[in-house]
Structure 1
Amino acid sequence: MEGVDKTFGATVALSGAHLRVEAGEVRALIGENGAGKSTLMRILSGVESADSGTIRIAGELFSPANPQQAREGGIAMVHQELAVVEDLTVEENLLLGREPSRCGVFLPNRMREQIISSLALLGRKDIQPSTPVSRLSVAGRQLVEIARALVHDSSVIVFDEPTSSLGLQDIEHLFEVIDRLRKDGRAVVYISHFLEEVQSVADTWTVLRDGEVVGEGLISETSTEDLVSQMIGRRLEEMYPYVPRSRG
């Protein structure tokens, strides 16, 4: 994404924003509430249209007019509010939007192979094609959404605050799955307010502030304090200067 502008009336949501993520990379997209993260991702996923700017997937111009076009173009979103259907099985959820056609464009056997390989990547033996989604925990349902992205052969997977409802063990397992996605050559965008998580799971980072990209770099070369400073526009010691106590 390059040079993305978006306004809502007199409000500037994005101004010249850019985001680049390579295959096999996990890029953290961070910023305070209202920084423009959600708007940028809504444009990528076809929910909103940009006033100006470009999107390229594998070097090709990409302009999704709606979420369906974005999904067909290889963009998958894993939201805080999970979009699985509880009354269906895991397999039925994975096939939503990609049911076998009568013309045989998608062969059932091939789709079944995709489902099995996608579920295997999750590393959870309790999540099988025939498992009712209603029996799964929040973490399990989130994994079903990830598997659906794989079944749809998504090249870019966006995680929006994925750990907000998870316990520590489930968070650790999610990070293992994201690492497998990285090794599988997927491009991952990871949005989170928890900077310790960002330091654990991401390779690179981009900070949005007031609709503009104000910094980006390698996680391995950046401290949590540096990320906070990028987000708020000043260093922590400027906000909370050291004042020595007097020994009165």
Structure 2
Amino acid sequence: MNAPLLSMREVSKAFGASRALERVSIDLEAGEVHALIGENGAGKSTLMKILSGAYRPDSGTMTLAGEPYAPRSPKEARARGVAMIYQELAIAPHLTVEANVMLGRERTSFGLVRRREHWRRVAEALELLEHPEIRPEVVAGSLSVGAQQLVEVARALVSEARVIIFDEPTSSLTAQDAERLFAIIDRLQARGLAVVYISHFLEEVRRVAQRYTVLCDGQSVASGRIAETSLGAIIAQMVGRDLTEMFPRVPHEPGEPVLDLSGLAGRILPKRADLLL
């Protein structure tokens, strides 16, 4: 079995007295989509912010391609090949697609931007995305939300990312844009990238991912292969109990009446009515 591209071991993080993560371990394989699943507050975003350099862990270790990995900022993480695409897109709407993709990554000679090289690198990244709206000269603010998200993917590709993290990527997308994103994730996987996919939509997880990890209350409680696990089992792992019924009946006995109306009538309700609660 090949060594994982990226490993996180015993990673913990607290914010004051609140424990966000408790000794979480996860492996990411090259050429694989790994789904990170859990309820709100389970620790998914915190774990990925550590991976992408936005947070630093209190304890634990990480390795990338067999080398120690401890980014102190998102810039350091990107330089090592790890990029995160957040729900809140970081697009400069008044700039062109080319300028957005190369922002902070400008190549210069004698103080002058190497525009031709920029254009070539952006065009190569956009070719993988295969989106008719997105061209280097187009102003980013004129694009749809789905297309703007793909501009961020192009930014990661230009940075030669080896790991790309998608945080709830379809939350504001149309069904058509979501399908286009899934096809792009398939192509990223085929190129040998490791993709982390965070989502509450388990049907999406089954569509794009091969393996999964479930977080619950800041701990890794389950992992496995998507094809070998039912949706019901994953949901049970998320909530920490078996769900024999999604909406079980709760037995109850009626108590004393709290409201008793007799002969109620008016302009809107011309016929008299009685109500007992």
When the two structures are superposed, what TM-score results if normalisation uses the length of structure 1?
0.93
Who is 2:83 aligned against? 76
Q: Helix, strand or coil for the counterpart of 1:189?
A: strand
Contact between 2:11 and 2:61, CA under 8 Å: does it hold in 1? yes
Question: Which residue pairs with 1:34 in the alignment?
Answer: 41
RMSD: 1.8
Corresponding residue of 1:158: 165
Show CA shifts across 1:217-248 (max 9, x none).
111111111110110011111775589xxxxx
| Runs (5+) with no aligned partner, structure 1 | 244-248
Instruction: Tell me the amino acid that sits aligned with residue 57 of structure 1.
Output: L
Instruction: Verify: 1:196 aligned to 2:192, yes or no.
Output: no
Q: In structure 1, which of residues 221, 231, 247 is the aligned counterpart of residue 228 of structure 2?
A: 221
Provide closer, same or farther for how the CA distance between residues 239 and 173 of structure 1 changes in structure 2, counting only shifts above 3 A: closer
The higher relative CO (CA closer than 8 Å, separation ≥ 6) is in: 1
CA shift for structure 1 position 38: 1.0
SS of 1:43's equivalent in the other structure is: helix
Secondary structure of 2:78's counterpart equals: helix
Tell me how far 1:57 sits from its aligned partner: 0.9
Distance change in 2, residues 1:88/1:108 (3 Å): closer
Residue aligning to 1:246: none
**Distance of 1:184 and 1:169 partners within structure 2:** 23
What amino acid sits opposite 1:6 in the alignment?
K
Percent of pairs with identical residues = 54
2:99 to 88, 92, 107: 92
Question: CA offsets per residue over residues 173-223 of structure 1, 9 Å max, x none?
Answer: 100000000001111000000111101111110000111111111111111
1:182 aligns with 2:205: no
> SS at 1:157's partner residue?
strand
Q: Is the 8 A contact 2:98 2:118 kept in 1?
A: no
In the aligned structure 2, how far is the partner of 1:214 from the partner of 1:110? 47
Aligned position for 1:134: 141
CA distance in 2, matches of 1:159, 1:13: 20
Deviations 1:3-46 (A, max 9, x none): 10111122111111012111110000010111111111111111
Q: Distance in 1 between matches of 2:141 and 2:248?
A: 51
Paired residue type of 2:43: G
Q: By percentage of residues, which structure has more strand?
A: 2
In 1, the alpha carbon distance for the partners of 2:35 and 2:128 equals 22
Cα deviation per residue 1:69-106 (whole Å; 9 max; x = unaligned)? Answer: 111111111111100110000000010111012369x9
- For residues 45-64 of structure 1, what are the structure 2 equivalents within 5 Å? 45-64=52-71
